[in-house]
Amino acid sequence: MNADDPGYERQGAGEPTAVLPETAASLVELERLQQALAESEERAKNHWDQYLRAVADLDNVRKRAQRDIEAANRYGLEKFAQELLPVWDSLDLAVQNAGKAADLKTLVQGQEATLQLLSKALKKIGVAPINPQGEPFDPARHEAMMAQESATAAPNSVLQVVQPGYELNGRVLRPARVIVSKA
């Protein structure tokens, strides 16, 4: 028998398939959950991609900062060296001319010029002398070599500067060596 025979009856033909209400609700819930799962998986994939980009960006920033630190360490003294080159040249010229017959006045002028070049170079990079003559003694900026009685100076003030100190942008490089007055 086949489907064209008049006596053939199809099973379920003409009869609608009955779906129980509980099954229909479960199928709708299943469809909703599958859609929510697909959306969640897509969001998770996007978040993972964002995470990977953030990690890569952070790694690039770290590498760039490391290169900048290395360059600063390697070339940080370049400005200082450029400022000192004229001083070097001046001293070199003085040494070359020392053997020649030069009068004392010319030698002193050359030394003064070299000292001015050095002072200018140090000032450009932020080095300033500490010359506390007459100021109150400050142990953070001054080193007391000795204490001396004085009738004219206030107690615990600087009577004499034995060796000037120096600061770099407000930070003490070397304290001034001083003689301090005592009562």
Domain spans, the chain = 20-74, 77-125, 126-183
Joined together, the tokens standing for residue 81 give 């060296």
Order the strands of the 142-149 sheet from edge to edge: 142-149, 176-182, 158-163
pLDDT of residue 3: 52
* pLDDT per position as a tens digit, 19-34: 677 788 888 899 999 9
Backbone angles phi, psi at 9, to 5 degrees: -115, 130
Instruction: For residue 104, name the pLDDT band (cuts at 50, 70, 90).
Output: confident
pLDDT digits (tens, 9 = 90+) for 65-103: 999 998 888 887 888 888 888 888 888 888 777 777 567
Fold adopted by 126-183: Nucleotide Exchange Factor Grpe; Chain A, domain 2 (2.30.22)
Q: In what order do the strands lie in the sheet with 127-130?
A: 127-130, 165-168, 171-174
Q: List, for residues 108-118, the tens digit of each pLDDT value.
A: 888 888 889 88
3-state secondary structure 63-131: HHHHHHHHHHHHHCCHHHHHHHHHHHHHHHHHHHHHCCCCCHHHHHHHHHHHHHHHHHHHHHCCEEEEC
Other beta carbons less than 10 A from residue 137's beta carbon: 19
Neighbours of 104 (CB within 10 A): 7
Q: Which residues pair with 176 in a beta bridge?
A: 142
- The DSSP call for residue 100 is S
pLDDT on residue 81: 82
Q: Give the global pTM.
A: 0.56
Please give the Cα distance from 101 to 150 (Å, whole number): 47
Question: Using CA atoms, how far apart are residues 35 and 44, in angstroms rounded to an integer?
Answer: 14
Angle CA 149–154–157, to nearest 5: 80
Q: Is it the case that residue 125 has pLDDT exceeding 70?
A: yes
DSSP lists the bridge partners of residue 143 as 177
- For residue 15, what pLDDT is reported? 64
pLDDT at 109: 84
